[in-house]
Amino acid sequence: MNPLFEPIIDGILTDGYGIADAFLSPGETTALADQLHRRKEAGQFRSAGVGNQQVMVEKAIRGDEIVWLDEATAAPAEATFLQRIGAFVEYINQTCYLGLRDYEFHYALYPPGTFYKRHLDQFRSDSRRKLSVICYLNSNWQPTDGGQLALYLPNPGGIEHTVTVEPVGGRLICFESGRLEHEVLPATRDRLSLTGWLKV
């Protein structure tokens, strides 16, 4: 049993989502946030798109800016992060037989007032996304800063249950991409994260 990964999988199976509050150490979180800011200053961020090819920029749906991580050009902090995700994928495959074969991650920066309206991560033509993973890079996040992730838990035959998660630095959240609708609420300060998908 892996003490870091097992509770995440357990959460997905029992509650529909799994959380690890210390997926990244404070030092790793800061290093990744610094790297995000470096990439921002280097002009690498682009407005995120919506839809299959992510070609349409629609600020009424989502207002974040993103940069995709590339293993080949990853800074040391990014390589460490991707290695841990690789180990997580391996562990999931050994324990849940999901047959994951690939993963993709991007930084996301939500400037103050921006949001991502309620959505599902699995596009009709991209059913390869099995699990959504978000890792937050915010230091000293307060509930009054906003920016919660709202999860809409389906309840067949009953009333939908909403859970909100604070985007606290070092925290990872994971859920089934094709199953759980969710929403990013507006924040009063920059909201930083690494978001990705584990794919078959």
Ligand X SMILES: O=C(O)CCC(=O)C(=O)O
Residues found near Fe ion in the complex (CB under 5 A): 121
33 binds, among Fe ion, ligand X, none (CB under 5 to 8 A by kind): none
DSSP symbols for the chain: --TTTHHHHHHHHHHSEEEETTSS-HHHHHHHHHHHHHHHHTT--EE--BSTTS-B--TTTB--EEEE--GGG--HHHHHHHHHHHHHHHHHHHHH-----EEEEEEEEE-TT--EEEE-S--TT-TTEEEEEEEE--SS--GGGB-PEEEEE--TTS--EEEEE---TT-EEEEETTT-EEEEPPBSS-EEEEEEEEE-
Closest distance between ligand X and the C-beta of residue 43, in Å? 21
Residues in contact with ligand X by CB under 6 A are 108, 116, 121, 134, 149, 182, 184, 193, 195
Residue 38 or 117: the one with the smaller Cβ distance to ligand X is 117
Rounded least distance, CB 89 to ligand X, Å:
19
Question: Looking at beta carbons only, is 6 or 183 nearer to ligand X?
Answer: 183
Residue number closest to ligand X, CB atom:
149
Nearer of residues 35 and 195 to ligand X, judged by Cβ = 195
